[in-house]
Each structure stands twice: as C-alpha cells, then as structure tokens.
Chain A
Amino acid sequence: MNRIDQAFQQKKNILNIYFTAGFPSLNDTTRIIRLLEQSGGVDMIEIGIPYSDPVADGPTIQESNQRAIKNGMTLKKLFEQLSDLRSYCALPIILMGYINPVMQYGIEKFLQKCTEIGIDGTILPDLPFQEFLDDYKALYQKYGIYNIFLISPQTSEERLRKIDTASEGFIYMVSSNSITGAKQKQTEEQIKYFQRIANMNLRNPRLIGFGISNRTTFENACKYAHGAIIGSAFIQLLSKHQDNLEEAIPAFIKEIRG
C-alpha cells in the first residue's frame, strides 16, 4: 500500500511540511527530513525541487528556490541525497516541483528513480490535469507513484468531481485565490469554501495548503479537511534558525501540534 494511503487510514489531522531541497545549505535536505521525522509530530513531507521560475510561489519560497539553485541543487543531486531515504525515514514523501526540470530529467527516468528511492507521490502545479491523463498517467501507474492535484476556490464543481475521480492519495486544496505565502488567519470567505468542499463527500481525503502558518490556521484547516500543509512559514523558520535547526524544528512542530 502507498504510504500516503496508509497515513490517511491511520491518522487524523495530518501535518504535511514543505521545504525546498538544498536550502538553507546544499546538504541540509536529509538533515531536515530526519529532524522532521524525529519530531514525532509530522505525518508527511513535501520536498521542493528548486526551479528558477516558480510562478505559483510567493517571495519566501521563490527565495528559497533561488538560494538552493545557487547552492548547486539539481534534481540529479536531490536523488543522490535521497538514495538511502528509506533507511531512516518511514513517512510518506512527496516531491513538489515544476514540470520543466522534470521534463529535462526525463519523465520515465524520474518516476523510475522515485520508485527506486521510495518516493510516494508528486505535485507538479503547472502540469495540466488533461495532459497528465493523456500523457503521464500510464507511466505513473506503471511505477506506482501518485500525482496529487490542486483545486482552488474557483474550481467548478464539475471539474472538482473529475479531479476527484482521477485522484489518488489526496486532493490539495489551495486555501484561497493566492500564490504561496504565510498568512496569520483565515477569512470568512475561506471558511465558507472549506465548508463547501467538506460537504461534497469527495472520495479522496483533502489537505489544505497555502497560507497555513501557525497553530490557529492549522487547527482551523483540520476542522474542514484531513489536515494541512505548511510551507512558507517553515521556510522562514529555516532561514531564521539555520544555525540551530536541531532545536528550532522540533520546537516549531511542537508549537503547531500544541
């Protein structure tokens, strides 16, 4: 069974943490994975493949991408760093990135490598749903990798149903009409949207992402979905405490979990 499905079967209030590979330093990738796992409060990890032009990302993640590229991070390098991932980490791991670096690496080679290492899923925000179905789905199935799709407040009900039917793992609910970036609280309009989706009885579990930054926004998201994803706020933490990740990461997770 895919580790993502397992997590949703066994746990509630899933906390998924995003960070950019190769940030703050090139070799921090595996160190951060270990610290997240050891914290005991994290259920899933999303590792960002850095890209020069991340259009769906706000300033925080843009900067971490830039810095990781400067540090020398590439997809090839990331796979090298993760080669013994499954010797120290049992959590579901998802690679998040833009389609161009994956295309240059070669999609089949990429999926093959994911299986070999024990990656469970991918999120490629600029790979269109229809293109995935037409050109990628068969390969994903061959290698047993899930591709996670995004929905936004603007997604029509009809399209949502289609995405739900084709999805595996979970549906990534973008919390508002927005690029990524930490926000302090959620608006009434967002809550209405969370509620609307919760009432649709989708077959897939949902995680809410974008703008989740602290305990309040996390707990609020958990009321309407199966958990949430924290990205920019965690990247900010990494920037601020890069010399002391061993203490800062567990403290951050503890603060979110309460």
Chain B
Amino acid sequence: MFPITQQGYYGEFGGAYIPEMLYPNIEELQKNYLSIIESDDFQKEFRRLLRDYVGRPTPLYYATRLSEHMGFHIYLKREDLCHTGAHKINNTIGQILLAKRLGKKRIVAETGAGQHGVATATVCALMGMECIVFMGELDTKRQKPNVDRMRMLGAKVIPATSGSKTLKDATNEAMRFWINNPVDTHYIIGSVVGPHPYPDMVARFHAVISEEIAQQLQSSVGRSEPDYVLACVGGGSNAAGAFYHFYQNSKTKLIGLEAGGHGIHSGMTAATIAVGRVGVLHGSKSLVIQTEDGQVIEPHSISAGLDYPGIGPLHAWLAKSGAASYFPITDEEAMRAGLLCTRLEGIIPAIETAHALAYLPKLNAQSHEIAVVNLSGRGDKDLTTYINYFEEKNML
C-alpha cells in the first residue's frame, strides 16, 4: 500500500487539478470511493467477478526455458490470461461496480492500445451500461482489431482528432465529454493517472496482482517475496498492481520499464521518468514530457499503450524517493524481447509487456534469485506491428 495524503498527494505529486465544472464529480468520488470499495458488499461482488468472470487468480508461471536462457529464476504473472487479454479489466470491473453504486447510467473512457477500451466496453456489456470510448485517430488505425472488438461489444468508439490524435488527446476528449455530461456519466480512467482519487483507486483495483504473486510464490517456493518485480510503465497501472504489496519490503527490488522509443535523447521517446519535468497533465501534478514553455510534447513509442507523455504521480514519487527504479527500453529492445519470449515460452506478449521482458538481460541477477515479470497482456493486438517489424529486419 502506498501512502497518500487526504488531498491525494504522494509527496509533491498528485492532487486534483481539474476545472471547476468537474469538481462535483471528483468530490463525489473522493468522498465515497473508500467507503464503497471497502464495503463487504462491494468486495464480495468484486472478488466474485474477478474469479468467475476475469479468471483470477491468474497463474504465476515458472518460465523454464527463459530462466535457463537468462541464468536465474523467472516467473511470469499471467495477466495476459485475464478475460480480454490484459490486466486492464481488474480496474474496469472495480470502477463499473463503483459507478453503479453512484447511480451512473453511462461510461466514458479513453484508450490508447485499445486494451482499456475493450476492458471498459466488456464490463459495460456485462452491466448493461452505455459506453463511449475516445481513441486517438492514429491509434484506431494501429490497433484496428481492438476497435472492432469494442464495436462488437456495443461501445461507441469516437476517434479523437484533436492535437496529436493519440492517447493524450483521447484523454482530453474523454474529460471534455465528462464536463459536458457530468450528472449521469462516470469516467473510467485506464491507468493510475488523472485527478485524485483515480491514481489511488486504480492502484487498489490492481493490487490483487501482487497479492496473488505473494501467495503463489509462498506456496511454490516457500517465500512470499521475490527478489525483483518487473513491470512496464505507461501510465503505470499494471506496475502499481505488481508493486503494491511489495512496497517497503527491503527484499524486493521494484523495477519499472518505460518506453524509450528511439532512445531517450532522440526526441522520439515516451520515457517520462527519464526526460519529464514536474508539471500538470490530465488532472494531476507529476512528471510530464514537455517543452521549456510547458507545452506537452507528443511522445513516441512503438507500443500504443506506452505512448503517453505523463506518468502516474505514484511512480513519479516512487522514482524520486528511490523506492522503485525505472529504466528506458528502446523499441528495438522490446521487439526482440517479445520475439524471444514467444520462441522460448510459446507466449506472445503485448509490445507493452515486452518492454518489461527486455530488461531481464540487464538485471544482473544471481542464479538463485527470483524475478517476477508482470506479463501485463497478450500480443494478439500487436501481430501486424510485430510481423511488419520482423519482416523489415529479416528476423523471421
């Protein structure tokens, strides 16, 4: 559990920097989220759906060939086996149950890779709620299969055509939609970003990931604390869930992997902790990739889900306080790691996830040590990107 102040700050990062028009909505959430999600009735329904609908607990799989290849013990936390193919649904189940209890009739969401959009559209179908998803026009093209999944699930997918037409702009559009429809709509944010209480709330919904890792490791090797936990970081939700129960445990090193793109000095990067400065984006104070004048810079990553110029305030604070370490991984390193995992384990990871796997060769772990990689999602949505890339490089 991460310490957060009443006003929603982790150290200097966080808060709720929102226009007054959204204040009543944010205040309603701030006042009610803890009492609702901690209630027995909520927990019962949440846990039941995670088990019977999402398919939790997800396996903690000992990756034999990958371990041999790297020379230390590697476990993969199989979030890719969640219903819809990524960790994102842990959060959308939680938030839709909350939205129902707040009497909301409609859901709006933003999506980058489309995984959060699919997870949102899925729970809306499950609960019979209207669903509107904003997706950058550019991303609707690079993640087409997910657009079709959302449409089949009954969601209305609206391309965000403003600004740079990617995740940042989809988030702006979702917020604008919420300003225009504040009374009957709940905004399901897809990561540990946004105004307080979103970062804390989303982290809590994903905390089940590290809760299970600890139990599963305990029953398989007799200890609950791995030496390393690795997770990719876009906004930081799968990492927040994977770190949650290991924070402040002196045995486990927490490592977040950001999208370095073409390299952090190339100007084509999404590695916010590496190149961002303190600023405000999408309702919270955190690190932001921006110009000297405070204009947000369009980031670059081969992975649509990591292509975001901000980062959850929690991670800005974990990085600053040294409680977790963050490293950039280039597009190329990620693509190679994705292929390696596929060939050694028969698991095609999402390109986002491949960023976490790419750090394994650099980890310098001892042969007896245990590293857990949070396998945040499966790579079906990325096949076109993978295949085009490998064909171009003659890697297949």
Contacts and interface: CB of A to CB of B under 8 A. Distances in A.
A54 B295 CA distance: 11
A129 B179 contact: no
Interface in B1-59: 7, 15-21, 23-25
A53 B168 contact: yes
Given A53-B168, A100-B280, A177-B180, A154 B21 contact: yes
B19 A55 contact: yes
Interface in A77-106: 98-105
Contact of A100 (B23, B181, B290): B290
A222 B64 CA distance: 74
Contacts of B294: 51, 75, 100-105
Interface in A100-135: 100-105, 125-131
22 contacts: A52-B296, A53-B168, A53-B172, A55-B179, A56-B19, A56-B176, A74-B293, A75-B293, A98-B280, A99-B280, A100-B290, A100-B296, A101-B295, A104-B277, A104-B290, A105-B294, A128-B16, A154-B183, A155-B24, A177-B181, A178-B21, A178-B179
B391 interface: no
Nearest to B179: A179
A58 B180 CA distance: 10
A156 B24 contact: yes
B229 interface: no
Contact of A177 (B18, B183, B288): B183
Contacts of A151: 20
A67 to B, nearest CB: 12
A31 interface: no
A69 interface: yes
Interface in B166-199: 168-169, 172, 175-176, 179-183
B176 A179 contact: yes
B122 to A, nearest CB: 27
* Max chain A Cβ within 10 angstroms of own Cβ: one of B21, B176, B295: B21
A180 to B, nearest CB: 10
Interface residues of A, number: 41
A59 B180 CA distance: 13
Question: Which DSSP category, helix, strand, loop or mixed, fits chain B's interface?
Answer: mixed
B66 interface: no
Contacts of B183: 154, 177
Contacts of B180: 177-179
B146 to A, nearest CB: 24
Interface of A: 51-56, 58-59, 62, 66, 69, 74-76, 98-105, 125-131, 149-152, 154-156, 159, 174, 177-179
Nearest to A156: B24
A155 B181 CA distance: 14
A59 B172 CA distance: 12
A200 B327 CA distance: 55
B288 A126 contact: no
Contact of A66 (B163, B277, B288, B293): B163
B18 A128 contact: yes
A230 B380 CA distance: 49
Interface in B94-152: none
Contacts of B280: 98-100, 103, 126
Nearest to A73: B293
A55 B293 CA distance: 18
Given A56-B19, A125-B19, A154-B21, A100 B281 contact: yes
Nearest to B293: A74
A2 B309 CA distance: 39
B292 interface: yes
Interface of B: 7, 15-21, 23-25, 162-163, 168-169, 172, 175-176, 179-183, 277-283, 288, 290, 292-296
Contact of A59 (B21, B23, B162): B162
A23 to B, nearest CB: 15
Contacts of B295: 51-52, 69, 101
Contacts of A74: 293
A55 B296 contact: no
A40 B96 CA distance: 54
A128 to B, nearest CB: 6
B49 to A, nearest CB: 31
Given A53-B163, A154-B182, A177-B179, A125 B20 contact: yes
A11 to B, nearest CB: 26
B170 to A, nearest CB: 12
A150 B19 contact: yes
Given A100-B280, A177-B180, A55 B24 contact: no
A75 B163 CA distance: 20
A179 B163 CA distance: 16
B198 to A, nearest CB: 15
B288 A100 contact: yes
B7 to A, nearest CB: 7
B296 A149 contact: no
Given A125-B20, A128-B15, 5 more contacts: A100-B280, A101-B295, A154-B23, A155-B24, A177-B180
Contacts of B279: 100, 103-104
Contacts of B16: 128
Contacts of B288: 100
A162 to B, nearest CB: 11
Contacts of A149: 20
A150 B21 CA distance: 8
A81 to B, nearest CB: 14
Among B24, B181, B183, max chain A CB count under 10 A is at B24
Given A52-B295, A179-B176, A126 B18 contact: yes
A53 B180 CA distance: 17
A54 B20 CA distance: 14
B162 A177 contact: no
A195 to B, nearest CB: 20
B176 A55 contact: yes
A153 to B, nearest CB: 9
